[in-house]
Amino acid sequence: MHTPRRPVSVVVTTAVPLALAGLVGTAVAPAATGAPRQIEKVPVAEGTGGAVATVDADATRIGLDVLRKGGNAVDAAVASAAALGVTEPYSAGIGGGGFFVYYEAATGEVHTIDGRETAPQAMQSDAFVEDGAPIPFGEAVSSGLSVGVPGTPETWDVALEEWGTLSLARALKPATQLARRGFVVDETFESQTASNAARFDDFTSTAELFLPGGAPPEPGTIFRNRDLAATYDLMARRGVDVLYTGEVADDIVSTVQDPPVAATAGREVRSGLMTAADLAAYEAPFREPTQVTYRGLDVYGMAPPSSGGSTVGEALNIIEAALPDGGTETEVLHTYLEASALAFADRNRYVGDPDVVDVPLAELLSQDFADERACLVDPTQALAKPVAPGEPDGSYDACEGTGEVGLAQQPGQSTTHLTTADRWGNVVAYTLTIEATGGSGIVVPDRGFLLNNELTDFNFTDTQGGVDPNLPGPGKRPRSSMAPTIVLQDGEPLMALGSPGGSTIITTVLQTLVNRVELGMTLPEAVAAPRASQRNTVNVSAEPDFDRTALSALGHTFSSTAEIGAATGIEVLPDGRLQAVAEPVRRGGGSAGVVEATP
């Protein structure tokens, strides 16, 4: 367990209004004079002094306030993440986990923190199997069985201790005030609540918090979460240990082992295996980042148990090998789809928790392995999908695709990503999640936050013929697709980016990089462009506006989906200014800002 340091002497405060007097409990009320007002979301901002890009305007504002008052990129990232726990509670929060990637300007090094949730020690490989068959996925999600030990609180504590200038108490203060004062409900929050209303209503604590009066809050009303504010206050006074060994930890264990199921619930809700010892043993370790060189750029990402860095990195290596001199838009997109399928086949076969399984990471990221995989790419014809994994064994003489084809389960679609940069050149790419939209659906009573369903990211049964690296296990971290990424040019930050979206996180980050580097788009154009996702499946999943004509002629087949991912990023422009970028439309649009805006 990480021991919090004594707060440093440099303290940053933020100009966030105090809580309204006379408000008690969680409430939804109409907006009134003096109440919180909805902030307009701006998808692109350029300027100096620091930048923040998130999915939410309040979170971006809070991060910018931290930077404006002298805090650094790490301080801003933690403060913004805590705010997202208030305004994006169905995507992230202290009941979940994530991966933190940090470029340290003073040393020129990239660091990462693995804040992935862990399985209880009592969890075995057949935990999601009953009577010889896997538990129905929906039943597994909304259960105590799906809840992993949260990693987000420890991630914040480690990041602030190692690189921040704020104490945890100061970093949490703006979000605490936001939770007390409330925020304006938008259509995205209302629709996410409504789509989860049936299962939220099956848990008494969740219905009390998110279905006040028995219905989702309406757009334009004010939503307050005083229970979460009190939990943040407790963390500020006692540190994150209160969630791992203190009274909140006790409440988490009780909730997992005995979910607060409503008497009217019609679903079967299984109890979880988590114990107090599991929480007390949690650590958020440092991992060496993944790194590949792509078109002269150094691309850094998150190593296993995330598959984001390895899969993005391998695919970029394949693209460069298959198109050494670049290509037309059709050639580039065709190669992007093929490289993604090949890299996903290898991800599914080889990537898991490196503390439990032997992940051949160096070979997966080697250019020699990518060259072997790239020679399978036919510029005139799409490969039949799914493709088989390769053999990252250090011997790469000919084009070979061997082994049994394995298909990964497609994880949930709810996560959030934020990107920050400061005046000193430090940069953070941070992806955090509670897995499905609404996580397990279970709020810890009187604590104001949802618990994750991250353990459903394990494969329920062996998908790899006896060598599946992603089966459940004691203390094991499930494989993730989160892909926070930082790109350096000549040792200096060029851009940082990431996205939510389950397994489409990988293809969203990959396609954004391909759009930016191969197709010469600006970062705003690269983020806004229509997306397609090939994850070693028969059909390519594509947004409606993605042009399929030329690619269909090459043999690609498509299925439609409304939207893929919701990226945020920051680029350092040639003149040294920062360009913060968020989605203009997807997921209700994101919010980008800079400390000092310039034309």
Structure-block tokens of residue 153: 């609180």
280 φ, ψ to 5°?
-65, -25
Burial string for 465-501 (b: 16+ CB within 10 Å, else e) reads: eeebbbbbbbbbbbbbbbbbbbbbeeeebbbbbbbbb
- Please give the DSSP secondary-structure letter assigned to residue 32: -
Q: Please give the Cα distance from 157 to 6 (Å, whole number).
A: 11
Q: Please give the Cα distance from 436 to 577 (Å, whole number).
A: 36
Structure-block tokens of residue 104: 């340290």
Catalytic: which of 14, 87, 176, 415?
415
Active-site residue flag, 415:
yes
Q: Give yes or no for a contact between 564 and 504, defined as CB atoms under 8 angstroms apart.
A: yes
Pairing of strands 44-54, 221-223: unpaired
Closest CA to 207 of 440, 437, 441: 441
Closest CA to 438 of 91, 84, 82: 91
HSE, CB side, 13 Å, CA atoms: give it for residue 67. 31
Q: Give yes or no for a contact between 87 and 56, defined as CB atoms under 8 angstroms apart.
A: yes
Q: Please give the Cα distance from 223 to 212 (Å, whole number).
A: 10
Sign of the alpha-carbon dihedral angle for 512, 518, 523, 524: negative
Which residues are tagged catalytic?
415
